[in-house]
Structure 1
Amino acid sequence: MNTAPLNIQPHLHGLEQKLAALRHLQILVNILTGFSALLAAGIVLVGVEMTLDWWIELPRAVRLVLLLATGGVCGWIAARFLIRPLLSPPDDDTLALRIERATPGLRNRLISAVQLGHQERVSSPRLVERLIAETEQLAPTLAYHKAVHWKPLLQTAGAAFLLSLVAVAAFERARPASVDLLRRAMLMPVPVPRKTKVICLTQNRVIARGDNILIEAVAKGITPPHGHISLKYANGQTQTLTLLPATDDRSRFRRLLENVQESFTYKIKLNDGLSEDFDITVRPRPALASLRCFQIYPAYTGLAPTPRALGDLVLLAGSKLQLQAVPTKPLQRAVIRLAGPTREIPMQPGAEWTGEIPIPAQGLTGFSIGLLDRDGLTSKDETVYRIDIVPDKPPSVILTHPQRREELVTVYGTLWVGFEAADEYGIGAVFLHYKQDGSDAVKTVELDLEGQHPKTLRRRYEWKMSAISPLLLEGTSIEFWIEVRDTNNVTGPGVSVTPHHFLKVVSEAEKRAELMSRLDEFLGQIGAAADAQEKLTRSLGELIRQKPTP
């Protein structure tokens, strides 16, 4: 049997070119069919979603599911009619069989030529060469176009074309409503187009329990005589109320809900327009769970911080009142509102909200705490805590020596100046002030306290007249007094002075005469006292000797 190699390439090449051209045409037809099917499915699915959305206003979650379903269907069509034909095009045998079916007169000649031409050795090479040559000669007369599957393309393209015409016509006729519906199908946040567009002015709100809330909306387009608001509470209860137009603007609809106790969701309907769902969230107002007070005394008092009861805020001027507040809910801000001077002091956040009130000498009468929570709700009817300010009393001082308001001194004499002073928190300084007659210039001598700040002080100061410069002259008058200051460096210092005393500079002879006069006066007082004592003694003796009357 002869199995010599075939010499058929010139004839076979012509057949392969025609089959390759047919393959490319079939792939193009398949791609066009897939695009037509994809377009038709997209128009139908998006149109159905837009229609349903306009009819029953689909929630966003439902629109998302429909959009994903549309994407899934379109993805399947693309994989089936676009990607698959490109990845698995028809081979030569398949195309040859299609041509055989379209040209019955070939009687399997084309498929035999293609299959035998791809074999390297055959039993009758001359017969095969003749078969391929004859088939190649018949190639121009073959009905290649009948081997292409045109029907699916014509059907899908025709359907896509008709659907596109209907969709474009409907889309243009329904503008601008169709634009909004398409945007909603793409999950954009736009309302369903209606003859009446509802613009809700209240929208989402957080209010305090027991507050009133004004639900307000504006109608754009056709304005109805009234509208409705549908409420749905957290417990499932529903309620429908009427919205009436405002007297000054018939397109504005309002409804005041008083003393709201529960959260609810609401939507507004005006004519055929329906708003989105909005939430009114009811929360308790912020309040104080606890409030502690500590009085911080001024440093000069030497006193430690002391807890104070809110009902007993009697505070020393110059102190600070430290507040430690615990709110009932998280806050974004807290302030101390002062009564008297209108002022707010911000409090610092932490485990407790803290703040300090400086206590002035006067004017402050109380305080309250203002709270602002993270929902924007403020505290209400804050308690005003009364503050009574106690001023730091000035020190007390008395001059114990000399006792007489006027004294005589000599130029080189010495005057003992004695005094007693006291202060609740400590004496800061003691001064001896004096001035001479005919002059307003006051001279001062500061007495040495040896760095101490005693609360009580008893002291005698040796005042030498010769230390006064310039040297005093006889006949000069001197006015002097003692001044005591406390350690109050916040609202003070407190100052007290003794009554003014007077000195007159005399000669030594005049001083001796004054001393002798005092001595005589003193001795006279002693004699008078002795006589009075003697009389009293005699009267007492007579009373004792008297016998009682029977």
Structure 2
Amino acid sequence: MRRANRRPDLEILGVIGQVRRRWRLKLLLRGLVIVGAGALLTFLVSVVGLQTLRFQPGAVQIFRIVLWVAAAALVLWSVILPLFRRIPDDRVALYLEEHESSLQSQLLAAVESAKAGKDVDHGLVAAIIDRAVERMRRIDNGRQIERQAIRRSSGMLGGLTLASFLIILMGPSYFRHGASALLFPARDAESVNPYSVSVEPGDTTISRNSDQLVTATLNGFASSEVRLFVSGAESNGYEAVPMIEDGAGAFEGLLLSVADETRYYVESNGVRSGTFTIGVADLPAVDRLAMEYVFPSYTGLAPRTFEYGGDVAALSGTTVHLNVTPTIETPGARVILDGGDTISMAPAPEGTYGGAFRVRQDGFYGIQFQTHEGVWVAGAPDYRVDVLTDQGPSISFNKPGRDTQVSS
């Protein structure tokens, strides 16, 4: 009756199936540990490479390929191939006997008998299988054999995951930038670059033989060495021009008397801006700028005239009168303050234009001319406006003006 109700051959094959699943789980966890360690190492090397190359778009693309190909190869070699490899029942039985000496080859014999489809009611075969089943029960069907390995691999996998998060979150900022650039390959390679150089005015057209101020702002990094590279129409290459910090975090470089079309870009610490073009045309420009300061009435100061003006340095409340002479005839002129205010300039004798503005705060102002096509163009680089600090009142004696004695 016992044998009629129970099939020892199916029971032993069921135990073999359970062991095989735990074996595959161990292989999966061990493979994931290898994949995690290899991917983390590849990621760190790639991020350091990106930082060295300043996240250039070409470098981002190359290291993306390196990281994802390495990760795919690790997954294929360490996870997919081991999991899909066929593990026969007799190999599982032999594996168990190697790790549990008490089985004494009985499990392998029982598995071969059960797979051969022999009559389990035969006394000898039934006894072999029964003994194997009993011994497997004593060792909890082999669960102890894989338990330690599974726990160890699980712990290592959890540690790798935690270490990866800590490295990205608590490491240098470029680790996080690198994660954003490498782990999301669909993002544009240029948009993930944390380092850039913003350049003004970019592409522009100016009057022939006029000056052009180029301003560069460093984004995501700091450097004291910023260079402007310039190439004219007749140049064989680019000439480097040092740029000077303007005191507000940006850098300035002045191109003097630009006579031909000029290409330029700005570079610092291996980070390069785009390449821009300065076109030249026969446009009106500032030929001569005269200024007159009309100081606030409380100062008691007489107006002051500058035959050749430009930058303004005056007390707050000073009215600056401008008289500008363009290089060629122009239908209009105006003053542009850095706050966005526009002041129209009135025509004056001999083709000049006049206008005025009041000094209120530090900043800049520019002069623009209107072309015959109705387009407004800059007549010169912006001029600086500096507000001077007013001195406190002072008292002086005009009479008698010297030491004296009072008569009795």
Residue type matched to 1:144 in 2?
A: G
Structure 1 partner of 2:39? 42
In structure 1, C-alpha distance between the alignment counterparts of 2:220 and 2:179, rounded to whole Å? 21
Give the fraction of aligned pairs with identical amino acids, expressed as a percent: 12
Q: Is the 8 A contact 1:8 1:132 kept in 2?
A: no
Letter in 1 for 2:237: Q
Contact 1:213 1:256 in 2 (8 A): yes
Residues of 2 paired with 1:252 and 1:71: CA distance? 38
The match for 2:80 is 83
Aligned twin of 2:253: 255
> SS state of the match for residue 77, structure 1?
helix
| Deviation at residue 161 of structure 1 after TM alignment | 4.8
Q: 3-state DSSP class of the match of 1:227?
A: coil
The offset of 1:255, in angstroms, is 0.6
Distance in 1 between the 2:202 and 2:266 partners? 11
1:99 deviation in Å?
0.5
Distance 1:175 1:128 in 2: 67
In structure 2, the residue matched to 1:242 is: 242
Shift in Å, 1:74? 1.4
Shift of 1:57: 1.3
Work out whether residues 47 and 178 of structure 2, in 8 Å CA contact, stay in contact via their aligned partners in 1.
yes
Mapping for residues 47-58 of structure 1, pairs under 5 Å: 47-58=44-55
For residue 41 of structure 1, report the CA deviation from its aligned partner: 2.6
- TM-score scaled by length of structure 1: 0.43
Q: TM-score, normalised to structure 2's length?
A: 0.55
Distance 1:260 1:183 in 2: 44
Cα distance, 1:170 vs structure 2: 3.7
Determine if contact 1:202/1:216 at 8 Å carries over to the other structure: yes
Unaligned runs of 5+ in 1: 1-5, 287-338, 343-367, 378-550
Alignment RMSD:
4.4
Tell me the amino acid that sits aligned with residue 189 of structure 1: S
| Aligned mate of 2:22, from 22, 25, 30 | 25
String of CA shifts for 1:316-348, please: whole Å, max 9, x gaps: xxxxxxxxxxxxxxxxxxxxxxx9x99xxxxxx
What count of residue pairs does the alignment treat as equivalent? 282
Match of 1:16 in 2: 13
8 Å CA contact 2:29, 2:153 repeated in 1 = no
Q: Report whether the alignment pairs 1:278 with 2:279.
A: no
Kept after mapping to 2: 8 A contact 1:229/1:268: yes
34-43 vs 70-79, greater mean Cα deviation: 34-43
Equivalent position of 1:227 in the other structure:
225
**Greater Cα shift, 39-48 or 61-70:** 39-48
Question: Partner of 1:266: helix, strand, or coil?
Answer: strand
Higher Cα Rg, which structure = 1
In structure 1, which of residues 116, 125, 130 is the aligned counterpart of residue 127 of structure 2?
Answer: 130
Structure 2 distance, partners of 1:112, 1:213, is 93
Higher share in helix: 2
Please report how far the alpha carbon of residue 7 of structure 1 lies from its aligned counterpart in structure 2 after TM superposition: 8.7
The amino acid across from 2:241 in the alignment is L
Alpha-carbon contact 1:93-1:115 (below 8 Å) kept: yes
| 1:417-456 correspondence to structure 2 within 5 Å | none
Kept in 1, the 8 Å contact 2:264–2:275? The answer is yes
Matches of 1:88 and 1:227, distance apart in 2: 59
Once the two structures are superposed, the pairs formed by residues 46-445 of structure 1 within 5 Å of their partners are: 46-88=43-85, 90-121=87-118, 125-142=122-139, 144-145=142-143, 147-148=145-146, 154=152, 158=156, 160-174=157-171, 176-185=173-182, 186=184, 187=189, 189-192=191-194, 199-202=197-200, 204-205=202-203, 207=205, 212-218=211-217, 226-231=224-229, 233=231, 237-246=237-246, 249-258=247-256, 259=258, 261=260, 264=263, 266-269=265-268, 275-281=271-277, 370=373
SS in 1 for 2:275: strand
Deviations 1:293-337 (A, max 9, x none): xxxxxxxxxxxxxxxxxxxxxxxxxxxxxxxxxxxxxxxxxxxxx
Higher relative contact order (CA 8 A, sep 6+): 2
